[in-house]
Amino acid sequence: MKQLATITVIGRDRTGVIARITSFLFEAGANIEAMEEQVTRGQFSMVLQASWKSSQWQPGVMKSGLKRLGEDLGMEIRLRAAEPKGLQRAALFVTREPHCLAALLPAFKSGVLKAKPVVVVGNHADLRPLAEKAGVPFRHIPWLDRLRGEDAALKALEEYEVDFIVLARFMKILSPNFVWRYKNKIINIHPSLLPSFPGPMPYRQAYERGVKTAGVTAHFVTMHLDEGPIIAQDSFTIRPSMTLPQIVAAGQKLESKVLVKGVRLFLQKRLDVHWGVVKEV
């Protein structure tokens, strides 16, 4: 049995960062299983997957050692450990629309989604009763200022030891600084058949363009808006007599279904992202 962990590194680019971190992990008995890094406008970002033999895993030593290394490098280094036999811990981000959250919570409770929702984060408090009725803590984080909102959200994710995030109609754009910390671990539902109609009003665009088939897309969130790797899609026919509210209602019913399917595929470890494309394995 081995212990798995994800390490994220973010800070101003400087020479020798990768060597310092990989050397530290090697000396701590880690096996580096995957690593991806990039530099954008002078900012260095890295996500690293590592594993340890259970006998060599010392979480307290690892966290304190990485903290000291981060201070020495002038970078933020975080470690998220996964329990080999435990359920993954999910955070559900919402705004005001209840339909996706109302589908996800029973799916988790029934075991259709084999993970544990540990917190619902809302930039409005409208869905607090729905979360608390299901026994899931609700954290209201105003998002008038994105920097402050994301900082508070990241602190909540660390507090609840979150492994992955589901955007259940969360109507805010996440910055690259946030997204990189949970690379391929943020799942969103978009109300169109991407790549068609990205952005905030896809149903209206479909209605005004007179399209005959509309749909929804579950996808991983990347640093490019509504362009992340596609996990699952489904569609519905727009009849000539349908009004915009009727199109929205049909789409919302499908959003819930496809989002649950996308999360289920993610949890079954059947997805592999290669060159920006999701493949079932």
Tell me, yes or no, whether 108 and 180 share the same domain: yes
Q: 188 with 229: CB under 8 angstroms?
A: no
Q: What is the largest CA-CA distance in the chain?
A: 67
Residues 170 and 42 in one domain: no
Confidence of residue 274 (pLDDT cuts 50, 70, 90): very low
Are 244 and 274 a contacting pair, CB within 8 Å? no
Looking at the fold, whether 61 and 99 belong to one and the same domain comes out as: no
Residues 158 and 95 grouped into a single domain: yes
Collapse the DSSP code of 185 into the 3-class scheme (helix H, G, I; strand E, B; otherwise coil) and give the result. Answer: coil
| Domain hosting residue 199, numbered range | 89-280
Pinpoint the alpha helices (H) of 80-223: 99-110, 128-133, 146-159, 176-179, 202-209
3-state secondary structure of 170: coil
Residue 86: pLDDT band by 50, 70, 90 thresholds? low
Please say which residue of 21, 53, 82 terminates a domain: 82
Asked whether the beta carbons of 94 and 120 are under 8 A apart, the reply is yes
pLDDT digits (tens, 9 = 90+) for 17-60: 999 999 999 999 999 988 888 887 788 888 888 999 888 888 88
Distance between CA atoms of residues 61 and 42, nearest Å? 30
Task: Kindly state whether residues 71 and 104 are assigned to the same domain.
Answer: no
Does the pLDDT of residue 278 top 70, yes or no? no
Domain identity same for 129 and 264: yes
Helix (H, G, I), strand (E, B) or coil at 121: strand
Q: Do 253 and 118 have their domain in common?
A: yes
What total of structural domains would you count in the chain? 2
What pLDDT, on the 0 to 100 scale, is given for residue 280? Answer: 59
- Structure token digits, residue 164: 């992955």
Minimum mean pLDDT range among 104-108, 155-159, 196-200, 273-277: 273-277
User: What CATH number is attached to the domain comprising 145?
Assistant: 3.40.50.170
Start-to-end Cα distance in the chain: 22
SS (H, E, C) 13-57: CCCCHHHHHHHHHHHCCCEEEEEEEEEECCEEEEEEEEEEEHHHC
Last residue of a domain, one of 52, 82, 112: 82
132 lies in the same domain as 68:
no
The DSSP bridge pattern shows strands 76-82 and 2-12 to be antiparallel
Q: Check if 72 is active-site.
A: no
The catalytic position among 126, 151, 163, 226 is 226
User: In this structure, what token pair is assigned to residue 147?
Assistant: 């920097």
